[in-house]
Amino acid sequence: MKRQGAMPRLAIASLGGTVSMQAGSGLSAVRPELGCNEQLAKVPQLREMASLEVATLGMLASASLGFAALLDVLAWARGEVERGAQAVILTQGTDTLEETAYFLDLLWPFDEPLVMTGAMRAASHPGSDGPANLLAAAQVALAHSSRGRGVLVVMNDLVHRAASVRKAASLALAAFESPGCGPLGHIVEGVVVYRLPPGRKEVLPLPHHIEHRVALLEACLDADTALLQGVAAQGYQGLVVAGFGAGHVSAAWSTVLGQLVPVLPVIVATRTGSGPTASASYDFAGGEIDLQAKGLHMAGRLCPRKCRILLWLLIGTGRQHLLNKWLPW
């Protein structure tokens, strides 16, 4: 139970990434070395804002995170909220932040915010953005207006929804965008301002199995079908295709995809990075009308990488038949 006037409890954990990286002496290349307490040492204000529960859960480049590790992170975060944390912050590498945030968002059952952040410049580099992002993440996490919004990504003083955020630049400081809809909010003088009220959000149960795999292949000019034909034989239980334009593939790919439909669920998304797939505009072999007639699912606004996460979690809970309901237009 919360004491009157007591500081809010904020749980913070780090997983690695540039925000935890620094250069060794005499070197300029960086690697993960800082645990969570060392990251927090650069933001002393945090200890005046909240009583902190701190954990270092990993020290990895985010390319090496995986679903099993994320389920462990989720268990830790859920435990912190159950023990009274008002919000949770995770710091990690930015390379996979758009995927990990969506993964956790689909499973986050609380009104308490789960806020994720990282850095584009390492801790030992001039102008490192990690401390500013951590402070902004805490301001967002502790704001009452952040409740009921699921998992939020805070980078560069912008707040993004897990379902729409995307790393859109490899090295730029302003690397994160929400294509098509823009950020959900921004931070001005330490206060978060949202453009929209919280929306109701459905959450998936925890997966009961995690050994299955979902493949992601990108359509490209003059691609042969050898990899597509191997998907089922390689033991994948689902497939996402990052299609051309509004969700299209070549006529040859369309034929093979049609053969895969009785074997595994297939989603076709757009590889363009912005905008929805079409549903009733193009009537050619490999166009969305043909693909839907063959039983493929069109991704709507969900990007290919997030489609793969959604499909993996749906298969893990035996809910793949509900796929269309979970694909947002």
Query: Does residue number 56 form part of the binding site for ligand ASP (CB under 6 A)?
Result: no
Q: Which of 58, 93, 130, 207 binds ligand ASP (CB under 6 A)?
A: 93
* Candidate ranges 2-10, 11-19, 243-251, 293-301; the one touching ligand ASP (CB under 6 A): 11-19
Question: Which is closer to ligand ASP, CB of 10 or CB of 116?
Answer: 116
Question: Which is closer to ligand ASP, CB of 30 or CB of 217?
Answer: 30
Query: Does residue number 98 form part of the binding site for ligand ASP (CB under 6 A)?
Result: no
What is the separation, in whole angstroms, between the first and last Cα of the chain? Answer: 41
CA distances from 279 to 45, 71, 133, 217, 246 (A): 50, 34, 39, 21, 9
Question: Which is closer to ligand ASP, CB of 72 or CB of 111?
Answer: 72
* Candidate ranges 10-18, 130-138, 238-246, 273-281; the one touching ligand ASP (CB under 6 A): 10-18
Residue 183: CB minimum distance to ligand ASP, A: 18
Query: Does residue number 133 form part of the binding site for ligand ASP (CB under 6 A)?
Result: no
Burial class (CB in 10 A: 0-12, 13-18, 19+), 42: middle
What are the tokens at 234? 């390689």
Query: Does residue number 113 form part of the binding site for ligand ASP (CB under 6 A)?
Result: no
Please give the residues from 13 up to 32 whose contact with ligand ASP meets the rule CB under 6 A.
16-18
* Candidate ranges 88-96, 105-113, 190-198, 320-328; the one touching ligand ASP (CB under 6 A): 88-96
Query: Does residue number 62 form part of the binding site for ligand ASP (CB under 6 A)?
Result: yes
Q: Which of 14, 86, 94, 270 binds ligand ASP (CB under 6 A)?
A: 94
Question: Which is closer to ligand ASP, CB of 96 or CB of 254?
Answer: 96
Count of residues of this chain found to bind ligand ASP when the rule CB under 6 A is applied = 10
Query: Does residue number 118 form part of the binding site for ligand ASP (CB under 6 A)?
Result: yes
Q: Which of 40, 61, 73, 136 binds ligand ASP (CB under 6 A)?
A: 61
Binding residues for ligand ASP, per CB under 6 A? 16-18, 61-62, 93-95, 118, 120
